[in-house]
A and B are shown apart, each in its own frame.
Chain A
């Protein structure tokens, strides 16, 4: 019956969906038995399954579903209400249907009947009208039920009543069935615009698009080098079409994370029953979409974390009450987009993690040397729960302590390019935060050069790029405690020289260098490379078995010229370089030096400006400059008689120093603005010229004429320079305002 195969397959798929719905409804009804819509929805689900079984002649399955339908039907008619026993029996029924479906999928038949004790239990829950023994023959069709009622028909009034009810029930069922038929027909308009597609086909298409992207990149590069305008035009069109195709295909693979959550209500219910704990789930952001392969990859880790939260996080009702918390724990699952990633959070309001206990356990398991303990931060201590061979569960039960630890969760998440983090407050709860990339196959990356080789750095890890001129290298890049550091806006950034790290050569001191500021696992570090090229969409290809334990690279890609470039795995590179530990050492070092009031010998950077025609040079500490902007004069508006501009959706007050006021300036003239953060918000200082950025650690500021936000004067680059303090400047500006002074200085 090959023509039936397709129908059978769609029966299996649909029944699977119906079962998921039914399961959710039962669990929800267990909490709120009054919810009529849920009852109706559950009834529809089981009715559809039962109906289709009849069509295929799966009589064993049908008799089971028939019983369940009877119970739910009676519930819909208000004869019975959902209670714990009924829910348990029905859920067991759901499980049994799944067993049937699996059997049907593999053997094509529904095999043997459902276990008698389950049938008996369900039978006992059907209200009196149906004291029929469910036999495959009798339950084979709806009309059989009718006859069975008639067979048992007694002349008593009582029984007559029952029959009427049963018939009424039946009409209901038919109405409902036709209603659901209507739903399917009215839904078929929608069905015409959606198609079920085999995932294998989508995966294959994705690979082909990957190849297309590569070919496009190669063509673009070739076209750019040719002097052929038509080729250039065509290749640019191809470029656009390819991007659109890629984006479109990507969308076909997106699924809402709700799909992965569908099983949780049941899972939580079972966990509650087993542990005696009470849990209220809160699901937020279920519509957040993820590539289906990623969704598949995080399904198990998420379930593990949910189990873990109930098992280890949330306390028993007694303990919770004793701690002054509500009896039922709250388990919040939320998903949202954040900077090109999807973040999934699982947080409980349980007892939190005990870092002392974790450390004790880590010591016992030999994961840690006693000497190391003191140097660990609280965050690092907690992270030991992700180590292989770690489990704080004192008794091994079938919930979490199954020998599979959180290290597996971490591995699974990291394998797909994600990361996992924990926050925990003792007594208040624990939050696991998973960052998942949107897609795996094609990622934007920055192409950099180190010696003769190109490398791809995923954009998600890249914060910024700092350019260091050759003559500044000695000065700007320093060694603290055997570690390279760079002072980035007042912070010490641990540096890693790519050549040294990768055994490619010795550091280059003759040429300009670039520092890539990278983040991994919430640690920042700088990677010194020789050159920065372009950003490109790259297609990630696996490195293969031989290179799987390479400490720095996660994959490779093929560049426009057909050569291979390696893709840096920023997180493992950070681990490999020991940046995390370096960072701690640095901070300690910095703290020690701060105590001794000996600032590390890193120069302060100043922005040199000329505020107005008459004034000389002024210096603003670079750490107090957010941005430099050049705007056209006609953007200046007025508020309370003061100059303001609209800037990034806010009002930015403008400040002019001295006589820098040219109301007759031509509208199109450009003015330069130094945007500075102050204690009152951002302000823009209007300047005539931006001269340079200088760095000096010896500048002594003498307090000469302290006015207008100028804190003093000193010598920079051989010129007398005023030092501007933006906070003081703003205070000055405010004073002018509050005095109502229109006295323009």
Chain B
């Protein structure tokens, strides 16, 4: 277990995260996304990736981070990146703000999430690691993709309203 691991780092709402590179298939910029009515709130839409239909996950929503606040200074930076992940035989896209570097870490350097990390986000973390003094959170994709933000379609809950 002491072998080094490659991580793909990225930022969402100015926070730093990482996922294990083995799961990452590719990264796409500004890919066309089709809305899905009644979809779970965390699923932004569907992408066509070379003939395969892949859902795009709005990490910002699933991690319960604040909505995009337009920063006047970097208005040319409003690209949306999609990290395409292979997960359990299916592909999903994680929508992120910025793609960082691919880094090598030793699993021993990953620490448990600090007690101060509260709220929804804590459930989705496998740990914390530091890259050149900046803390990154290691995402637990299994928990993340099973969260109700990703799985619960707007069906039963809204039904009474429609009647």
Contact = CB atoms under 8 A, between A and B. Distances in A.
A556 B46 contact: yes
A578 B36 contact: no
Interface string A562-602: 11111000000000111000000000000000000000000
A502 B39 CA distance: 9
A501 interface: yes
A564 B48 CA distance: 6
Contact of B38 (A214, A503, A563): A503
B162 A577 contact: yes
Contact of A551 (B38, B45, B52, B88): B38
Contacts of A566: 34, 36-37, 46
A565 B32 CA distance: 12
A681 interface: no
Nearest to A576: B155
A547 interface: yes
Q: Which of B51, B54, B159 has the most CB of A within 10 A?
A: B51
Given A564-B46, A566-B34, A542 B162 contact: no
Given A214-B51, A578-B162, A547 B36 contact: yes
Contact of A550 (B48, B54, B155): B155
Contact of A544 (B35, B38, B90, B153): B90
A605 B45 CA distance: 43
Interface string B13-45: 000000000000000000010111111100101
Contact of A546 (B48, B55, B158): B55
> Does more than half of chain B's interface fall in helix, strand or loop, or is it mixed?
mixed
Contacts of B90: 544-545
Interface residues of A, number: 30
A464 B22 CA distance: 50
A211 B88 CA distance: 23
B89 to A, nearest CB: 9
Given A553-B36, A558-B51, A578-B163, A546 B151 contact: yes
A552 B151 CA distance: 15
Interface string A487-529: 0000000000000111110000000000000000000000000
Nearest 10 interchain pairs by C-beta: A502-B37, A551-B155, A564-B34, A564-B46, A550-B153, A541-B53, A556-B53, A549-B153, A558-B48, A564-B48
Given A214-B51, A564-B34, 13 more contacts: A501-B162, A502-B38, A541-B53, A544-B54, A545-B90, A546-B92, A547-B43, A547-B153, A550-B39, A550-B155, A551-B154, A553-B36, A564-B46
19 contacts: A501-B162, A502-B37, A503-B154, A541-B53, A544-B55, A545-B88, A545-B151, A546-B55, A546-B151, A550-B36, A551-B154, A553-B37, A558-B48, A558-B53, A562-B32, A563-B34, A564-B32, A565-B34, A566-B34
Interface of A: 211, 214, 453, 500-504, 541-547, 549-553, 556, 558, 562-566, 576-578
